[in-house]
Structure 1
Amino acid sequence: MAHFDERSGIVPCKTKWGSWWQTIEEVFIEVDPGVGTELSGKEIKCTIKPKSIALSIQGNVVFEGELFEHIHADEAIWTLEDKRYVRICLSKAHDTAAHCWPSLLVGQYQVDPMTFDEMQKKLTLQRFQFEVC
């Protein structure tokens, strides 16, 4: 049986806090604070700017830094699902397959070369599918 990531076509980059992945137009971040953790929206602080992001859960910094490329901060959203998962969706300012991010933040959460190659292939295929439709 195929894993969900394979069926949905995403190529995730695993991190200590969860994972992130991208499409031509967006970057998705999924944070899993750990088994048994139940959160409320009040315990989450997410600051999203055109070139930076910061996420704290229960007063602990999960990540913060300069995004690899600019985003449309006014289109970004974050959600709390099942009182556990924090999901963030960022809209890329440059939405072409040529803008495949090799890392989420500058110098942090870099994709290994094999995964980056898979990400690039996925974005190229996605761009081709958009052009055909």
Structure 2
Amino acid sequence: MSTPAEEYDKLTPEERETKDKEDRAREAAEQAALPYTWKQELHEVDIRVPVPKGTRARDLQVVIAKTKLSVSLKGKEPIMAGELCKEIKLDDSTWTLEDQEFVDIHLEKVNKQQWWENVLKHHPKIDTTKINPENSKLSDLDGETRGMVEKMMFDNQQRQMGKPTSDELKKQEALKKFQAAHPELDFSNAKIS
């Protein structure tokens, strides 16, 4: 029996486009039926839950736990409640009441390298392979990651121009220093690998 991915690969480009449109429409309808809206970045999820206009914070019961979330008006059935699809960082997750008509919930993901398929496990899933993230700017990255990305970009440019990478340049520099410190040695057959 073939998997959905194998079936998809067998489709013509036109059939894929039609299937993608149908899937997006189905997903949009399923998401629109939820009692909240949500969006995500790789490191966070933001949820907006509409509540009756004039709602005050004291009227709400919002529970945010490592793997659970619920929002309800005191004494009423929960607007949303269940197990989160992935674990969150509790200390960095918050909720606020906006304009007395929306509960805005900010969840920090534990795994910042993974897209969520849904917020609550029992709710409809989205196809995370179709997510097109916004391009990040180098300035958004932390120092270590930024340095790594800049090195990779430099090395890639050097390779495209047929020039040595940063590691190869370091080795050449080390060999030059060693040659200068030991002029009595013959380096005519030296190879840098």
TM-score by length of 2: 0.51
User: What is the match of residue 79 of structure 1?
Assistant: 96
Can you give the 5+ residue segments of structure 2 that lack an aligned partner in the other structure?
Answer: 1-27, 151-193
1:38 offset after TM fit, Å? 1.4
Partner of 2:34: 16
Structure number with higher helix proportion = 2
Q: Which residue of 2 aligns with 1:40?
A: 56
Q: Report the count of equivalent residues.
A: 113
Whether 2:122 is the aligned partner of 1:91: answer no
Unaligned runs of 5+ residues in structure 1 are 1-11
> Which 4+ residue blocks in structure 1 deviate beyond 6 angstroms?
none
Q: Distance in 1 between matches of 2:81 and 2:107?
A: 14
Structure of greater relative contact order (alpha carbons < 8 Å, 6+ residues apart): 1
Contact map agreement 1:24 1:127 (CA 8 A) in 2: no
The TM-score normalised by the length of structure 1 is 0.72
Match of 1:28 in 2: 46
State the distance in 1 between where 2:78 and 2:43 align. 27
Partner of 1:106, secondary structure, is coil
Q: 1:122 maps to which residue?
A: 133
Which protein has the larger Cα radius of gyration, Structure 1 or Structure 2?
2
Deviations 1:82-108 (A, max 9, x none): 011110000000111xx1001111121
Q: Provide closer, same or farther for how the CA distance between residues 109 and 63 of structure 1 changes in structure 2, counting only shifts above 3 A.
A: farther
Contact 1:24–1:126 (8 Å) recurs in 2: no
